[in-house]
Amino acid sequence: MGRILIIDDDVQVCETIESLIARAGHDAVSAYNLKDGLARVRENDFDVVFLDISLPDGNGLDCLQKVKESSGCPEVIILTGKGDADGAELAIQGGAWDFLVKPSSVKQISLSMRRALEFHNEKKSKTQCVALNLDNIVGKSIEIKNCYDLVAHASGSDANVLVNGETGTGKELFARTIHDNSRRAQNNFVVVDCASLTETLVESTLFGHKRGAFTGAQADRKGLIPLADKGTLFLDEVGEMPLAVQKSFLRVLQERTYRPVGENREFKSDFRLIAATNRDLEVMVRRGEFRQDLLYRIQTIHIHLPALRERGGDIEELTNFHLAKLSQRYGVPPKVANSDFYDVLNNYDWPGNVRQLFNIVEQAFVAAGSGNTIYAMHLSDALRIKMAKSNLRKSHRGESAEVHDRTDKTLSEKTDKPVEKKVAAFSETVGGLLSDALPPLKIFKGMAEKRYLEELLSRYQGDVSTILNVSGLSRSHFYALLKKHEIRD
């Protein structure tokens, strides 16, 4: 018997689903707003939760992770009264089991519920023989926790993995963690720097060569692919791999065979592939810069690592972790960071992500000398100046926006001309999106949506906080739209 919660402000919908649940032999409970629904998942363990998007006190998608991470770890079936493609994308990315558009048929609701219960029960009955070792991965934010489940799935299989994220987010660390938790942990983890591969040396580097195969080959040399036999082959920055090299590697990946330069026989290598990149490979495929068939091969499991600025609350934990390691390395008593030090760190955008944070923390650690406390003054002058300028720009943009809003309001009260000017500008923008032949409404909406996002980024210079306030979008919805329209922020 399963326990199921329905969070929906439509009483009739709740009663209908309750009736279906009761007929299936399960227990049902209803809540008519987010506050009561969240209170119920905190108090009780549920196997499945039906969660409406549009509720009187908020958006259900914003609380999806809280529901999933409650003590019962329930499967979540999203309900919505309209066909919202972006909402469906966000729900699936957030780990929802299913996305149902109201009104859904009794058969569809029952089928989704039954399958969700089956999956949940199977997941609960599974026991993991060896606990996943995440000792070197630090973070408790929702954004980074979403990656842990994928690491567990990848560690338990031999499937090809693609890890992508900005520079400094820890792609190689995650790749090594997958290897260390896999059945191949006792064998080699071989790193291939794809940016350094050239068409002339690729075969020798990857496959090896025999003595005398070419000028300068004075001895037999083993390539990186045979070194990875029974272990893991890690392609670092796979997006930098030249097209000609991609073609050569694709066959190796398909057949797991290679031929050293100067050898007339082929050999097998039982390697597991993990690739990493900071580039958008799907965009590269569309530009003809990356082979589509290779992309399909390398991303059986896809792990996207969030940027540090998107990992709310992880900076302090990462800093404490690195300070402890530095104390061990330098053989000195532990040091602690003062609150003013964290104030500065938390107000920086960290373009270099975790790698940059660790470098900055080490600089401050050394600057603190024999002291036991690290203060903001121990940060380099260059970084403090950069942060101060960044904060001033943010403050200036906020004040400018406020003055602009007040001016617009005053002018519109005095005269209609500014309003007319805005309407004319809007008409010009919309008119520019229309060609001689009118596009379908759906396509036009997408074009207008993209133009609006581009204007937001341009007008507010990428200041996400201001953009969210102006647009009314949630952070997750905003980033999902940028991804949808392939807009780089």
pLDDT category at 307 given cuts 50, 70, 90 is very high
247 with 327, same domain: the answer is no
* Residue 171 confidence (pLDDT) above 90: yes
pLDDT category at 415 given cuts 50, 70, 90 is very low
Residue 331, pLDDT score: 92
CA neighbours closer than 13 Å in the CB half-sphere of residue 432: 8
**CA–CA separation, 58 and 215 (whole Å):** 70
* Residue 437 confidence (pLDDT) above 80: no
Q: Choose one of 283, 306, 329: the last residue of a domain.
A: 306
pLDDT category at 406 given cuts 50, 70, 90 is low
Q: Choose one of 358, 379, 400: the last residue of a domain.
A: 379
Q: Are 315 and 342 in contact (CB under 8 A)?
A: yes
Angle at CA of residue 183, ends 177 and 184, nearest 5°:
75
256 with 296, same domain: the answer is yes
Q: What is the DSSP string of 113-158?
A: HHHHHHHHHHHHH---SS----TT----SHHHHHHHHHHHHHHTS-
368 with 445, same domain: the answer is no
Look at residues 303, 311, 309 and name the one whose alpha carbon lies nearest to residue 139: 311
3-state secondary structure of 3: strand
Q: What is the amino acid identity at position 436?
A: D
* DSSP structure class, residue 307: P
Look at the chain and report how many structural domains it folds into: 4
Bridge partners, 161 (sequence order): 274, 301
Q: What is the pLDDT of residues 3-40, one digit of tens each?
A: 999 999 888 889 999 999 999 889 999 999 999 999 99
CA neighbours closer than 13 Å in the CB half-sphere of residue 237: 11
* DSSP structure class, residue 261: B
* Residue 319 confidence (pLDDT) above 60: yes
Q: Identify the weakest region by mean pLDDT among 208-217, 281-290, 429-438, 441-450.
A: 429-438
Q: Identify the weakest region by mean pLDDT among 33-47, 424-438, 463-477.
A: 424-438
Q: Classify residue 134: in a domain, yes or no.
A: no
Residue 357, pLDDT score: 94
Residue 396, pLDDT score: 63
Report residue 213: phi and psi, to 5°.
Answer: -65, -30
Q: What is the pLDDT of residues 292-306, one digit of tens each?
A: 999 999 999 999 999
**Domain residue limits at 89:** 3-125
Q: Classify residue 151: in a domain, yes or no.
A: yes
Q: Which two tokens stand for residue 410?
A: 């005053």
The 3-state DSSP composition of the chain as helix, strand, coil percent (nearest 5) reads 55, 15, 35
403 with 369, same domain: the answer is no
Highest mean pLDDT pick, 99-103, 131-135, 276-280, 466-470: 276-280
**CA–CA separation, 303 and 292 (whole Å):** 18
Residue 130, pLDDT score: 47
* Residue 105 confidence (pLDDT) above 80: yes
158 with 172, same domain: the answer is yes
Bridge partners, 261 (sequence order): 209
Highest mean pLDDT pick, 115-119, 437-441, 474-478: 115-119
Q: Choose one of 289, 306, 323: the last residue of a domain.
A: 306
CA neighbours closer than 13 Å in the CB half-sphere of residue 322: 22
**CA–CA separation, 171 and 278 (whole Å):** 9
Q: What is the DSSP string of 155-181?
A: HTS---EEEE-STTS-HHHHHHHHHHT
pLDDT category at 489 given cuts 50, 70, 90 is low
**CA–CA separation, 242 and 248 (whole Å):** 10
Cis amide prior to 334 (ω within 30 degrees):
no
Look at residues 354, 321, 300, 311 and name the one whose alpha carbon lies nearest to residue 173: 354
**How many CB atoms within 10 Å of residue 384?**
15
**How many CB atoms within 10 Å of residue 139?**
22
Q: Classify residue 135: in a domain, yes or no.
A: no
Highest mean pLDDT pick, 115-119, 130-134, 218-222, 234-238: 234-238
CB-based contacts of 11-17 (< 8 A; 24+ apart in sequence): 13/52, 13/79, 13/102, 16/106, 17/50, 17/109
Residue 470, pLDDT score: 85
* Residue 408 confidence (pLDDT) above 60: no
195 with 219, same domain: the answer is yes
Q: What is the mean pLDDT of the chain?
A: 83
CATH at residue 342: 1.10.8.60
Residue 455, pLDDT score: 84
Q: Which two tokens stand for residue 214?
A: 């070419």
**CA–CA separation, 42 and 98 (whole Å):** 22
**How many CB atoms within 10 Å of residue 121?**
12
What is the gyration radius of the CA atoms in the chain, in angstroms?
A: 27
Q: What is the DSSP string of 377-442?
A: GGS-HHHHHHHHHHHHHHHHHHHHHHHHHHHHHHHHHH-SHHHHHHHHHHHHHHHHH--SSPPPHH
21 with 108, same domain: the answer is yes
226 with 283, same domain: the answer is yes
How confident is the model over 410-425, as a mean pLDDT? 46
Q: What is the amino acid identity at position 465?
A: S
87 with 31, same domain: the answer is yes
Residue 262, pLDDT score: 82
Show Cβ contacts of residue 123 under 8 Å, excluding neighbours closer than 6 positions.
none
How confident is the model over 350-359, as a mean pLDDT? 93
281 with 333, same domain: the answer is no
Q: Classify residue 137: in a domain, yes or no.
A: no
pLDDT category at 199 given cuts 50, 70, 90 is confident
CATH at residue 165: 3.40.50.300
* Residue 327 confidence (pLDDT) above 90: yes
Q: Classify residue 489: in a domain, yes or no.
A: no
Q: Classify residue 478: in a domain, yes or no.
A: yes
273 with 173, same domain: the answer is yes
Kindly list the distances between the CA atom of residue 247 and the CA atoms of 241, 252, 290, 291, in Å, as whole numbers in the listed order.
10, 9, 10, 8
pTM, to two decimals: 0.64
Q: Classify residue 14: in a domain, yes or no.
A: yes
* Residue 431 confidence (pLDDT) above 70: no
pLDDT category at 120 given cuts 50, 70, 90 is confident
Using a 10 angstrom Cβ sphere, with 0-12 exposed, 13-18 middle and 19 or more buried, the burial of residue 350 is: buried
CA 191 to chain centroid, in Å, comes to: 23
Q: Are 191 and 234 in contact (CB under 8 A)?
A: yes
240 with 282, same domain: the answer is yes
Q: Classify residue 133: in a domain, yes or no.
A: no
Highest mean pLDDT pick, 31-45, 200-214, 435-449: 31-45
